[in-house]
Chain A
Amino acid sequence: MKLINKSHVAKKMPARLAVNTICKGLFFLATLVGLLVLAILFYRIFTQGIGSLNGDFLQNFASRKPEEAGIKAALIGSIWLMVVVAPVSLLLGVGTAIYLEEYARKNWITTFIKVNISNLAGVPSIVFGLLGLTVFVRALALDRSILAAGLTMSLLVLPVIIVAAQEAIRAVPRDLREASFGMGATKWQTILKVVLPAAIPGILTGGILALSRAIGETAPLVVVGIPMFIAFLPQSFMDTFTVLPMQIYNWTSRPQEEFQQVAAAGIIVLLILLIFMNSIAVIIRNKFQKRY
């Protein structure tokens, strides 16, 4: 005797297929909402900002007159900021990840530290701003300099870089390490010649994504006290400066309609910079990716 009644199964079939189709439609709509909002944002920004985006805009300093306002100080400032954040956060982040994954003993203290680093990645950026204000601006008396802001931003993105680097290092197959140790290599030789070359795509991808976050972040710099209006270029890491998102924030808070257009143009510059950095991450990942 058969336990399954085939005619009953056949009767249920159309309903099952219908549910499948409906679900597909729902998920497509969910995707569409995000895409639509993004499209509207791009449309608005480009129609508003493209008029102001020209050579003068890139070469002028900020101004009280919208037609003369430019992004030069902020663009150069953002680049100066990256010059501090990139080496500091990558060196500290990768160093920490190497220590935690390769050298540290596997015990509850290490686990506790790892969990807390992951938690730090979720701490609001304004908290890091307060930390930077207390430690770098006041205690170390770096004032509102590129160095103080850069170190603050480095701390902000450090957890993200550590976690990304840890994952990349952990993904290196164990048998490659064994092969190296088996020939009498020291731990450091193994890290340098086997682990890091295999982990570098993952580390750089995570690193560049973290830097993209740093370049778009405003809150910690507001807390540190970076000015929004500046009409000169920094000459050293101890000078004060401003960055793209601060400048954009400043323009959007002005009442004049023209400044909204200038802000839109600034956003376009910021977006281009971000897309450029993310493309580098994608290229690196594709170029160096090795399959095991």
Chain B
Amino acid sequence: MNMTLTREKESPAIGVENVGSAALTEKVYETSNLNLWYGENHALKNINLDMHQNEVTAIIGPSGCGKSTYIKTLNRMIELVPDVKTTGQIKYRNRNILDQSYKVEDLRTQVGMVFQKPNPFPKSIYENVVYGPKIHGIKNKKILDEIVEKSLKGAAIWDEVKDRLHENAYGLSGGQQQRLCLARCLAIEPDVILMDEPTSALDPISTLKIEELVQELKKDFSIIIVTHNMQQAARISDRTAFFLNGEVIEYSDTNTIFSNPNDKRTEDYITGRFG
């Protein structure tokens, strides 16, 4: 106990080091004093995190640390779980999304999500991509066709599927399905893309493709990615947050986190001593 206290005194406050670079880019998300409970279980404890435009922010940590819970609060997908309670605020572009007057449908047209397991609809590839735009009331066939081509190209799957757009998406391989899901997400032209362990169900080659895509996509989007793969975080992200037991232990540039972590627990985790 004493040791922990001493260590925390020695290390500078989280994020202080990066105030300089943080000021350069615009913030998409500002989380302050976020607490979340599943019933009695205090799953997120006093989270303070800012996320920046056109950057890739990685969230790492061992199983059960709250990283998936946190990313799901960013588009309020967490509300699908019964008996969830939150306090504090998450500002997306300066508006508190936890305010119930903020309509989730509105939020989710700005913030897209790619899930852990590829989850295409049991429809054709074309219908999968136009699902979002159609939901938002776009009916013009020409525009929809253009959206399909642009989105599938954006997810680097166009060449593989352009001749079978009207075949069922379930005929694609796992890696292709995940890129289709990414294309489906791009089709709503979001501002932010949330990715919840998007490569954990994929083989190494498909994983590599997704990682390359993330690098490409950050020019146009802000990306927040949860991963249990530390090498992946090191390879693709600009900033990394390390979660442990529902708390943010450390948040700074990815380089700093992986080469010179402030906190002993971060160091233990990234060097593979636990988790």
Contact = CB atoms under 8 A, between A and B. Distances in A.
Given A182-B112, A182-B113, A184-B135, A292 B122 contact: yes
Contact of A184 (B82, B115, B119, B136): B136
Nearest to A106: B82
Contact of A179 (B106, B109, B119): B119
A202 to B, nearest CB: 14
B190 to A, nearest CB: 9
Interface in B107-135: 107-109, 112-113, 115, 117, 119-122, 131-132, 135
A182 B115 contact: yes
A292 B122 CA distance: 8
Contacts of A292: 122
A248 to B, nearest CB: 44
Contacts of B109: 183-184
B180 to A, nearest CB: 11
Size range of the chain A interface in the assembly: 20 to 34
A257 interface: no
A183 B77 contact: no
Interface in A237-254: none
B210 to A, nearest CB: 17
B192 to A, nearest CB: 12
A291 B182 CA distance: 22
B185 interface: yes
A175 B119 contact: yes
Interface in A147-181: 173, 175-181
Interface string A45-64: 00000000000000000000
B75 interface: yes
Interface string A275-290: 0000000000000001
A178 B104 CA distance: 13
A292 B181 CA distance: 16
Contacts of B119: 173, 175-176, 178-179
A83 interface: no
Nearest to A107: B82
A181 B115 contact: no
Interface in B126-157: 131-132, 135-136
A183 B135 contact: yes
A178 B77 contact: yes
A197 B124 CA distance: 14
A173 B135 CA distance: 20
Given A106-B82, A175-B117, A178-B77, A183 B122 contact: no
